[in-house]
Amino acid sequence: MPRGRLPMMDLKRGYDVERDGSRIQHDLWPLDEIDPKNAKFPCCLVWTPLPVVSWLAPFIGHVGICLEAGAILDFSGSYFVNIEDFAFGAVARYVQLDREKCCFPPNLAGHTCKHGYQHTEYETALTWDDALQSSVRYFEHKSYNLFTCNSYSFVANCLNRLCYDGSMNWNMISVAVLLMLKGQWVDTMSIVRSFLPFTVVLCLGLVLVGWPFMAGLFSFSLLLLMWFLLGTYCAKTLLES
């Protein structure tokens, strides 16, 4: 099987679907336990630090979203979505999402969210895995760019297809904030792996260059933050989501 492809046989249905005319009832099945040793994070958003970039700005990293069976999907290169091979290292932080907060409408009248027409135009799904598969197909035709179309864009696209938490305004910033506020560290080593390189770079810079290095590092982080904020909320067509 080619890497980056998501075969239908690997997509476990997270729901028992019963058709009764136009009605479809979803009976959520229980998820397996989170298993960091085997990289299984059912219905989770996952995060890991990026080489070099996270050494300078530790709030930036690489993210993915997981199938109901726990396999990680992440957009890590042009026209390519990783499956069960999380780019840039093991998961350091994760947050498990609640499938009850998703909208899986069988038709326009079956929406549980308030974005019926908009959600339908965006392309709805009947299950969690179906929504993720749709995003995979979409991003297999996208060029990767760290500043405009990256792993956060892929995750935001998935959450918009799910209309997660009643919102279709998921973007790079909201995904990052969700992970920062609600994310759990896998273990102590994950914290060390995420912040030790930044601490070393900061200390070396202060010793070798002095306070101008601190000012330059702060300016770099501020410029990155301003780029994503302006691109997300001011020039909305600039960044992919």
Please give the chain's pLDDT, 241 residues, in tens. Answer: 444 444 433 444 434 444 343 334 456 778 899 999 999 999 999 999 999 999 999 989 999 999 999 999 999 999 999 999 899 999 999 999 999 898 877 666 656 667 656 666 677 778 899 999 999 999 999 999 999 999 999 999 999 999 999 888 999 999 999 999 999 999 999 999 999 999 999 999 999 998 999 999 999 999 999 999 988 888 777 888 7
13 inside domain: no
Q: Cβ(64)–Cβ(74) under 8 Å?
A: yes
21 inside domain: no
pLDDT at 232: 87
pLDDT at 107: 62
Q: Which helix (H) or strand (E) is 229 found in, with range? A: helix 211-233
Phi, psi of 48 (to 5 degrees): -145, 150
pLDDT at 113: 64
233 inside domain: no
pLDDT at 241: 72
211 inside domain: no
127 inside domain: yes
108 inside domain: yes
Domain that includes residue 72, residue range: 36-200
29 inside domain: no
Give the pair of three-digit tokens for residue 234.
């001011």
Q: Cβ(50)–Cβ(88) under 8 Å?
A: yes
The structural domain count of the chain equals 1
188 inside domain: yes
pLDDT at 111: 61
Distance CA 194, CA 191 (A): 5
